[in-house]
Structure 1
């Protein structure tokens, strides 16, 4: 008979992949399904739907401390990332003409919606691409490489705020300062973008603090729906070109009839973050730090917590079980009380170990034994203790199980 555990009893530790929808967000989505009219319509029920969208836009803007006009809704953060890249190239062309090739700078640990898009543009000869390496000690992008690589042909630098696998937080304000100094010194207009999707709800995120021109986000990483936004530092000074042409929605910048219920849900998720992110951050850190402390007490030097001394997201723990007799995939397949992941869900189709960990200097053997635990708002120390106990049992049995079974087969063990 197979061992089955109900979904409600399962401990979910893959919150960096996606999160369940908050019940308050779900209520707003269900309520807004009644506002089914086209928001572009001139009659009352259409205007009522439009009001729901604008209310949500204000909620997003309030969370990020920007004006309401700086927020543009998208289907996802991936769409917003692609939009920034295309718009930045258009802006470069307006300044330099079509004969000059633009350079874009990014890091080796970005989301595929950044890296694959840029690699495709490079392949067709549209851009020069510079991929900045990662400091193997800290997991932080090499700032000196960014500084050396900036040139008058650079049109965009895009660096994520927090990595979804290691949890390491990048020093975006310092990176932005480097770029703005170059802009002032060389009379350049390099734009700065960050995908902040993984950081929302886990740390304070405000555009003025980050000093970037654009950010991308998606609600499903912070207990909202699968709906995204592109947010500008200033609607007056940050250049943005239309991405999807259609009926003139999103002030003519992103065509397509709006998904009113999901946008309303995204707004509510942002409101909850605005009100409670400090409570979430404190709880995440408490549970994660307890878990890591007990892991080290239990397994000593047989576990390695990647970038433990770096500034990390408070909910994220990337752990290598260095002496486990198998891969992390094998280890997790034996775990029945919880789910976690071996790498970003965006790379999970690959049979190889994580390209992110590889870019961070972690060798193939350790990377293949690495599990990412990402705690959620409902995670507790009791949950973490259950996870720890199951890991202890599985790892102990993997080491001594065959010997125990052989001994049991020969009769009672001495001393038992």
Structure 2
């Protein structure tokens, strides 16, 4: 009998909860289009709006502030395509982003290169607030959009959004967007309490189906459709018939999202276990607030690509701390921005926990890592 695998890659995709899958299956039985006026269409519309309210509650807004999309990338691209604005004001002409943003922000905008400023981060991955303040002062009087993610997908480092919003409000005309894909469902996040103008999220990061996400807008903030034009769906902000089953599933996942302390306990136990195996272990972002489910680390001399293959064969699914494209591991721009050496970054691995992670998953991962470390240390001994 094959032993169960340890899936520890929830920041990439969190498996769909059984309750979510059941809701999706029920929604597949709704035959109407949510835009139709007949009984079947009204039933579909009711299910859609219920899901909208569920997602809104997760981030502290009413249903009318939630615009559904196909996922986090589309959502971020829509916000960063020049269409986000306060009612009665012109759209921003300058973009300010953090140095560790996800590619959907770093490469997903339509601002000219000379209108984009990248703000550095410190060695822990936290944005340089003094540099942000200086940049805002330099562009006082211009329409500015600041986009800083709530938490980093590789390191789990949480950004000081309240401070960032306060700096932007001092500027006067700055809007603030946060790519909250990795934070929503893992830590409490309230758009209104933070004062954000917009945030974007993706369902599959908190155990909803893939292919659904949302732009969430503050009161008084609107979005001109820049990517998908056509029908009047989503308040005329995003054309195209909605993915009703997927969105119903995202609503249920939003209702079930929790912020239990068990993830942090398991994460820290794994970090302690790894340090016992390899005293020279480096944990990235450890000096900053981090998502309770995320552990990004490297053991000097251990190559990430080799380690991932060995761990996979041992029944453990992790990710590299590096950006991946077409299955190939590349140097992480996040770790580079934090000043991590190329040699150490080449060995970065990421554990990310989720709703079905258990202590036995951690035990299995540590056992597999122990074999890797033993092999590494034997090679070091021979080399010495």
Task: Report if the CA contact (8 A) 1:60-1:271 is conserved.
Answer: yes
Does residue 366 in structure 1 map to residue 326 in structure 2? no
Residue 253 of structure 1 corresponds to: 237
Task: Report if the CA contact (8 A) 1:76-1:228 is conserved.
Answer: yes
- How large is the RMSD of aligned CA atoms in angstroms? 2.2
Rounded Cα–Cα distance in structure 1 between residues aligned with 2:98 and 2:178: 11
Rounded Cα–Cα distance in structure 1 between residues aligned with 2:354 and 2:90: 47
Rounded Cα–Cα distance in structure 1 between residues aligned with 2:12 and 2:323: 6
Rounded Cα–Cα distance in structure 2 between residues aligned with 1:95 and 1:40: 31
Give structure 1 stretches of 5+ with no counterpart.
184-188, 405-416
Rounded Cα–Cα distance in structure 1 between residues aligned with 2:380 and 2:93: 60
Once structures 1 and 2 are overlaid, which stretch shifts more, 389-398 or 63-72?
A: 389-398
The TM-score, its normalising length taken from structure 2, stands at 0.92
Deviations 1:48-67 (A, max 9, x none): 11110001011111112211
Residue 413 of structure 1 corresponds to: none
Give 1:114 deviation, angstroms: 0.9
Task: Report if the CA contact (8 A) 2:300-2:344 is conserved.
Answer: yes
Task: Report if the CA contact (8 A) 1:291-1:381 is conserved.
Answer: no
Does residue 294 in structure 1 map to residue 273 in structure 2? yes
How does 1:55-74 map onto structure 2 within 5 Å? 55-74=50-69
Residue 389 of structure 1 corresponds to: 367
Task: Report if the CA contact (8 A) 1:17-1:344 is conserved.
Answer: no
Deviations 1:357-387 (A, max 9, x none): 1111111000001111112222222221221
Give 1:332 deviation, angstroms: 1.8
Give 1:345 deviation, angstroms: 5.8
Residue 414 of structure 1 corresponds to: none
CA 1:140 to 1:348, structure 2 compared with 1: closer, same or farther past 3 Å? Answer: farther
Residue 241 of structure 1 corresponds to: 224
Residue 186 of structure 1 corresponds to: none
Residue 140 of structure 1 corresponds to: 126
State the SS of the aligned residue for 1:72: strand
Does residue 307 in structure 1 map to residue 285 in structure 2? yes
Residue 166 of structure 2 corresponds to: 177
Once structures 1 and 2 are overlaid, which stretch shifts more, 73-82 or 390-399?
A: 390-399
Match of 2:156 among 142, 152, 167: 167
CA 1:144 to 1:113, structure 2 compared with 1: closer, same or farther past 3 Å? Answer: same
Rounded Cα–Cα distance in structure 1 between residues aligned with 2:242 and 2:329: 37
Rounded Cα–Cα distance in structure 2 between residues aligned with 1:372 and 1:348: 18
- Greater radius of gyration (CA): 1
Rounded Cα–Cα distance in structure 1 between residues aligned with 2:80 and 2:151: 19
State the SS of the aligned residue for 1:323: coil
Give 1:296 deviation, angstroms: 1.5
Rounded Cα–Cα distance in structure 1 between residues aligned with 2:101 and 2:156: 12
Match of 2:254 among 248, 251, 270: 270
How does 1:219-230 map onto structure 2 within 5 Å? 219-226=203-210, 227-230=212-215
Match of 2:306 among 330, 335, 343: 330
Rounded Cα–Cα distance in structure 1 between residues aligned with 2:122 and 2:99: 11
Give 1:81 deviation, angstroms: 0.6
Residue 111 of structure 2 corresponds to: 121
Once structures 1 and 2 are overlaid, which stretch shifts more, 25-34 or 152-161?
A: 152-161
Residue 81 of structure 2 corresponds to: 86
Rounded Cα–Cα distance in structure 1 between residues aligned with 2:93 and 2:290: 33
Give 1:246 deviation, angstroms: 1.3
Give structure 2 stretches of 5+ with no counterpart.
none
Does residue 26 in structure 1 map to residue 10 in structure 2? no
Give 1:356 deviation, angstroms: 1.1
Rounded Cα–Cα distance in structure 1 between residues aligned with 2:324 and 2:127: 21
Give 1:87 deviation, angstroms: 4.1
Rounded Cα–Cα distance in structure 1 between residues aligned with 2:326 and 2:337: 16
Rounded Cα–Cα distance in structure 2 between residues aligned with 1:75 and 1:46: 21
Rounded Cα–Cα distance in structure 2 between residues aligned with 1:403 and 1:322: 14
Tell me the number of residue pairs that the alignment of Structure 1 and Structure 2 aligns.
375
Does residue 49 in structure 1 map to residue 44 in structure 2? yes
Give 1:297 deviation, angstroms: 2.1
Give 1:36 deviation, angstroms: 2.4
Give 1:401 deviation, angstroms: 6.7
Rounded Cα–Cα distance in structure 2 between residues aligned with 1:345 and 1:70: 32
State the SS of the aligned residue for 1:278: coil
CA 1:63 to 1:402, structure 2 compared with 1: closer, same or farther past 3 Å? Answer: closer
Rounded Cα–Cα distance in structure 2 between residues aligned with 1:102 and 1:329: 41
